[in-house]
Structure 1
Amino acid sequence: MIKYLLQGFLFGLAYVAPIGTQNLYVINTAMQKSKAETYKVALITILFDISLAISCFFGIGALIQKYYLLKLAILLFGFMVIIYIGVGLIRSSSQILEDKKLGNNSLIKIIISCFAVTWLNPQAIIDGSLLLGGFNASLPAEMSKYFILGVCMASVIWFSGLAGFVGKFSSKFNKIIKWINIICGLILIFYGLKLGYSFIEAIYL
C-alpha cells in the first residue's frame, strides 16, 4: 500500500510541478493579493486539479477524442478565457495596488479562472489520460486507489506550499511585480493562442 501511495505522490509532484497555467495563476495571486485570497485560489485550484487527475486516471481523454464537438468547445472556451486572464494580468501591471488586501476577486471569478487554467486544455487532458491512464492499466486493481490518492496528496501539498512560499516572500519582489505580471500574462496568452491555433487546426485540417 505505502509503495503505491508513494509512487502516486512522486508521480503527482512530477505532474503538477512544471510551470503551467495553474502554477502561474497561483503565483500571480500570491504576489498581489491577500493571504486569504491566495489560499482560496490555491484551494479551488487543488479541487479542480484533483478532479482532473481522477478523470484522467479513468480515461476522460478518450471522450474528448471520441466527441469532436466537445473537443472544439473546450478549445474555443479555453482560448477565450485564458487569453482574457493573460490580458487582465498585463493590464493590471500598470496599476499595482500597494495594499494587497484591496482588489480581491469575487468567488465566482476565482472559480471560473481556476477552472479555465485547469480544465480548458484538451491536449493536457489527453496527455494526462495517457500518463495516468497508462499507470492505472499497469497497477494491480486493488492498489490503484492508493496510487491516485498519492497523486491527490501531491496536488494538495504542491499548490498550498506554492501559495504559502510565494506569499511569504512576495514583499521581496515588490519592485518586480509589474514585470512578473507581464511575463505571466504573456505566457498565459501564449497558452491561449496555442489553444486557438489548435481550434482552427481541428476545424480546417
Structure 2
Amino acid sequence: MPDTATGPTVFAQGWVMGAGLILAIGAQNALVLRQGLRRQHVGVVVAVCTLSDWLLIALGVFGLGALIQGQPFLLEVFRFGGAAFLLGYALLAARRAWRPAQGLVAAGTTSSLGATVSAALAFTYLNPHVYLDTVVLLGGLGARQPPELRLAFVAGACLASAMWFGLLGFGAAAAAPRLRSPHTWRVVDALVAVLMTGLGLQLLLQPL
C-alpha cells in the first residue's frame, strides 16, 4: 500500500469494493426485493441485512476472513448447509411460480415479524456466499490497508451496503402498487427459483 493513501481515498475504495460485491443479485438481495414488493416489514429486513453486513465486513477486515479460510471443515458445513437451504427455498418459489394464484395469496398475507426476521437472518448467516463476499474477499482487501486506515475502508463498505439495501427494499416497496399482477409475481418467483437453484447447485458442485 503506498504511503500516499489517505482516509478519504481508502473510504472511497471501501465504498467501490463494497458496492461491486453487493450489487450482484444473490439470495439475500432476492429476499429484500421480495419483501419490498410485498410491502411487509421492509424496514426490518433492510435493517437486519444492513447491520449483518456491517458486522461481517468489520469482522472480515479485522481478522475473521483469515480464520475461515484456514478451517476447511467449517467451509464444508457452510457449503452443504447453505446448499440445502437454498434448494429448499428454490422449490417453494418454483411452486409459487407454477401456481401464480398461490403466489398472490402469499403476497397478500402478512407474515409475522418473527418469521420475517428469521428468514432475513437465515439468508444472511446460512449463505456461504455472504461469508465469501463480505468476510473473505472484502475483508481480505480491507486487511491489506494500513492499520490506521482500516476503519475508513470499513466505513466506506458499510455505507455502500446501507445504500444498496435501502434502495432495493424501499424502491421495491414504492414500485409495488404498479406491479401487483399475477404475471409480475410469477416472473419474480420464477427468477428467484432459478437464482436459488443455481446458487445451491454451485455450492454442491464446486468446493469452496
Query: TM bucket by the smaller chain?
Result: 0.7 to 0.9
- 1:27 is matched with 33
Equivalent position to 2:75, from 71, 77, 96: 71
Residue number among 145, 165, 171 corresponding to 1:165 in the alignment: 171
Q: 1:184 aligns with which of 182, 188, 192?
A: 192
Change (3 A) 1:197 1:129: same
Cα deviations by residue, 1:148-182 (Å, 9 ceiling, x for unpaired): 01111111111011111111112333332211111
- 2:120 is the alignment partner of 1:114: yes
Name the residue aligned to 1:125.
131
> CA shift at 1:144, angstroms?
1.0
Give the superposition deviation at 1:130.
Answer: 4.8
What is the aligned partner in structure 1 of residue 205 from structure 2?
197
> Mean Cα displacement is larger for which, 146-155 or 80-89?
80-89
Q: Percent identity?
A: 25
Report the TM-score, using the length of structure 2 for normalisation: 0.80
Secondary structure at the counterpart of residue 60 of structure 1 = helix
Normalized against structure 1, the TM-score is what? 0.81
Give, as a single letter, the amino acid of the residue that structure 1 aligns with 2:70.
K
CA gap 1:197/1:112 in 2 versus in 1, 3 angstroms: farther
- Root mean square deviation, CA, Å: 2.5
Kept after mapping to 1: 8 A contact 2:57/2:139: no
Distance across 1 between alignment mates of 2:75 and 2:55:
18
Are residue 82 (structure 1) and residue 119 (structure 2) matched? no
Q: Which runs of 5+ in 2 are unaligned?
A: 1-6
Aligned to 2:158: 152
Distance in 1, matches of 2:93 and 2:135, equals 30
Compute the displacement of 1:103 (Å).
2.4
Task: Work out the CA distance in 2 between the residues paired with 1:139 and 1:9.
Answer: 14
Residues 121-159 of structure 1 show CA distances to partners (whole Å, capped at 9, x for unaligned) of 445534544533443343222111011011111111110
Is contact 2:57–2:158 with CA below 8 Å preserved after alignment? yes
Whether the 8 Å contact between 1:27 and 1:162 is mirrored in structure 2 is yes
Shift of the 123–15 alpha-carbon distance from structure 1 to 2, 3 Å rule, reads closer
Alignment check: 8 A CA contact 1:57 1:129 kept: yes
Match of residue 66, structure 2, among 62, 66, 90: 62
One-letter amino acid matched to 1:53 = I
Conservation of the 8 A alpha-carbon contact between 1:76 and 1:196: yes
Give the Å deviation of 1:28: 1.8
| Runs of 5+ unmatched residues, structure 1 | none
Tell me how far apart the structure 2 counterparts of residues 123 and 186 of structure 1 sit (CA, whole Å): 16
Helix, strand or coil: the match of 2:111?
A: coil
Q: Is the 8 A contact 2:86 2:199 kept in 1?
A: yes
